[in-house]
A and B are shown apart, each in its own frame.
Chain A
């Protein structure tokens, strides 16, 4: 009974910066179990099972190819349109999934949270990790596609040293999605209006990110505005690292890193503030 020596004090309001990271670390097994649960539960009682992880992005990219490349004829900067969209979607899907799923943390877990205490951050963190599995499958298919396209001669490949930054790109996406998501989750416990704003906002944000068009294609004010979107540099740099088309934007990446960390800190502080008594308002 070693823990008997420690006295915990529960007070009405916890300080905003009293983030209990050591406590969160103690619950690391729970995070992994949540990841496992999400993965197993998601495709139970489906026939195709994890195949859905593959079917979804392939069909979406195909649809984009037909609509944006064939019908709207938006240029893709020398990258085969299908690969172009598939790459953009890999990045975008991961980010938007982190964001939308973590943003409902409090509301969709109110049932558990109302009965047992455990650090609430375990849930959004596990969501971000679960998303990695999907992203990984997504990237695996992308690799396969690139190999096929290369040997068919449909796509020139000029892989760059900067591909080693891939984990950094993913980390930045995860941090940003997590930060923004938990910020929303904390704010939506009381005013649900924000949930509508978010669903709508995520849709719009995709068009403000160079997913279906290259940044070079934009001009003037629009170009400037899109450059300020922290996701832009991740998408653009990722394509550059894979296909070697365009240029590496180090400053953009630093800007994104700053935004991600700032967003995460803001999110964690607000989340921490709300988690103690959100049960009364949810």
Chain B
């Protein structure tokens, strides 16, 4: 049985400030409507692509989305930040209305868009369970009958009569999730909650989601955690710039996603006159190439990364080194490597270098690369900043834990249990 049917849904947003311009817009909009004409602003709206500067200040956050979900399915929704995932969930949970199209829902929808909604810091855990439960659509009697179960699930029994502002963030999230998990909706919407909480709690959440699905209810799950999507979902949807670009088995959709997102950042080459650099040196090209046994062009923790650099040198008899820095997305330097010592002497012209970052060294996450050309191992001639950016994706087997490993590196270090 179909529980969700989304029919040609689109959502338009206005960018920028609301001011006098929007009053003019509103009047114009209203004037067209009372004369029975088409809304003039629907046509000039641009598609949701953040990389391009838009001419009008209206964008389509979602464009012509159609799909349906069967009862008992667990549908994973993936896509880059800004692809429209959250907007889609907001429409489904009735937080905001679509601009065009219709949505048919069969049954009660509960969303965990962000847990703890409506929690009041001054109220105790007990009071908040009732308040939050009611906000999510439960009656008092319903909450009372499940109260003990909720408290037990959350694991905060001892603090149930303490105001929640004294809770640790972990306790807070656990309590909030516990309330939502006991809602027994026909359709459960989960967005990124697995990012918070400890390992044990994550297991509970995943178990609960499986229970919900097993009991014939439907789950929509939005996550950046590909492993979790692969393990939990029966089907997946890939959103890009507000449209569905792929739909099908999670494995296949995830692969499409990983391929599409890496393409853009795999290096570039320059003509000599417009290349970055100065009077001593210029960058001809930089290229990032993942090397894998299975030959796929994806970057995961199990891909080696080859970086090929070509630079023009304009200094005669340069005693040269390249010094490469790899930074984490947050800006910390993960490592710095330099080319061979003692340094070679280079003539004027084009020179090449290659660096291979071994597999099973970097952890998942976004990294970027800068490098310098150095004279006499002491004097930097030019710093080529942020010439490459890439994201290392997860790839793991034989584990039931789907959280992110801490740290920037995840080297393959020998560590065994023996007896």
Q: Could you list which residues of chain A lie within 8 angstroms of chain B, going by C-beta atoms?
A: 1, 3-14, 26-27, 29-30, 32-34, 36-37, 40-41, 44-45, 111-118, 190-191, 276-277, 279-281
The reply to whether A191 and B113 contact each other, CB–CB distance below 8 Å, is no
A13 closest partner in B (C-beta): B97
Q: Smallest Cβ distance from B31 to chain A, in angstroms?
A: 17
Q: Is B24 an interface residue (CB 8 A)?
A: no
Q: 15 new A-B pairs (CB below 8 Å) besides A10-B103, A116-B113, A116-B135?
A: A1-B186, A4-B106, A6-B106, A10-B97, A10-B105, A13-B97, A29-B139, A36-B127, A37-B123, A41-B120, A112-B117, A116-B117, A117-B94, A190-B18, A281-B14
The reply to whether B22 and A190 contact each other, CB–CB distance below 8 Å, is yes
Q: Smallest Cβ distance from A270 to chain B, in angstroms?
A: 14
The reply to whether A277 and B127 contact each other, CB–CB distance below 8 Å, is no
Number of A-B contacts (CB under 8 A): 117
What chain A residues lie within 8 Å of B93 (beta carbons)? Answer: 116-117
Question: How far is B24's CA from A191's CA once the two chains are assembled, in angstroms?
Answer: 12
Question: How far is B109's CA from A114's CA once the two chains are assembled, in angstroms?
Answer: 15
The reply to whether A112 and B98 contact each other, CB–CB distance below 8 Å, is no
The reply to whether B108 and A3 contact each other, CB–CB distance below 8 Å, is yes
What chain A residues lie within 8 Å of B113 (beta carbons)? Answer: 115-116
The reply to whether B111 and A115 contact each other, CB–CB distance below 8 Å, is yes
3 closest residue pairs by CB, A with B:
A117-B94, A30-B134, A10-B103
Which of A6, A13, A116 has a CB less than 8 Å from the CB of B111? A116
Which of B105, B117, B127, B163 has a CB less than 8 Å from the CB of A8? B105
Known A-B contacts A33-B131, A33-B134, A281-B18; A191 and B23 likewise in contact (beta carbons under 8 Å): yes
Q: Is B417 an interface residue (CB 8 A)?
A: no
Which of chain B's residues 1-43 have a Cβ closer than 8 Å to chain A? 1, 3, 13-14, 18, 22-23, 26
What chain B residues lie within 8 Å of A191 (beta carbons)? Answer: 18, 23
Which of A5, A36, A44, A115 has a CB less than 8 Å from the CB of B95? A115
The reply to whether B102 and A9 contact each other, CB–CB distance below 8 Å, is yes
B103 closest partner in A (C-beta): A10
B91 closest partner in A (C-beta): A10
The reply to whether B97 and A11 contact each other, CB–CB distance below 8 Å, is yes
Question: How far is B137's CA from A112's CA once the two chains are assembled, in angstroms?
Answer: 14
18 A-B Cβ contacts within 8 A?
A: A1-B107, A3-B108, A4-B3, A7-B105, A10-B94, A10-B97, A10-B103, A11-B98, A12-B98, A12-B102, A34-B131, A37-B127, A112-B117, A116-B111, A116-B135, A117-B111, A118-B137, A281-B14
Residues of B within 8 Å of A, CB-based: how many?
A: 48
What chain B residues lie within 8 Å of A26 (beta carbons)? Answer: 139
Which of chain B's residues 357-413 have a Cβ closer than 8 Å to chain A? none
What chain A residues lie within 8 Å of B163 (beta carbons)? Answer: 44
The reply to whether A44 and B122 contact each other, CB–CB distance below 8 Å, is yes
What chain A residues lie within 8 Å of B104 (beta carbons)? Answer: 7-10
What chain A residues lie within 8 Å of B136 (beta carbons)? Answer: 116, 118
Question: How far is B104's CA from A55's CA once the two chains are assembled, in angstroms?
Answer: 53
What chain B residues lie within 8 Å of A40 (beta carbons)? Answer: 122-123, 127
Q: Is B177 an interface residue (CB 8 A)?
A: no
Q: Is B114 an interface residue (CB 8 A)?
A: yes
Which of B100, B134, B186 has a CB less than 8 Å from the CB of A29? B134
The reply to whether B90 and A279 contact each other, CB–CB distance below 8 Å, is yes
Question: How far is B93's CA from A8's CA once the two chains are assembled, in angstroms?
Answer: 12
The reply to whether B114 and A115 contact each other, CB–CB distance below 8 Å, is yes
Q: Smallest Cβ distance from B242 to chain A, in angstroms?
A: 15
What chain B residues lie within 8 Å of A1 (beta carbons)? Answer: 107, 186, 216
B1 closest partner in A (C-beta): A4
Q: Is B130 an interface residue (CB 8 A)?
A: yes
Which of A12, A33, A37 has a CB less than 8 Å from the CB of B99? A12
What chain A residues lie within 8 Å of B135 (beta carbons)? Answer: 30, 112, 116, 118
Question: How far is B91's CA from A115's CA once the two chains are assembled, in angstroms?
Answer: 11
The reply to whether A41 and B122 contact each other, CB–CB distance below 8 Å, is yes
Question: How far is B98's CA from A9's CA once the two chains are assembled, in angstroms?
Answer: 12
What chain B residues lie within 8 Å of A7 (beta carbons)? Answer: 104-106
What chain B residues lie within 8 Å of A4 (beta carbons)? Answer: 1, 3, 71, 106-107, 186
Q: Is B208 an interface residue (CB 8 A)?
A: no
Which of B107, B111, B122, B134 has a CB less than 8 Å from the CB of A27? B134
A41 closest partner in B (C-beta): B122
Which of chain B's residues 136-151 have a Cβ closer than 8 Å to chain A? 136-137, 139-140
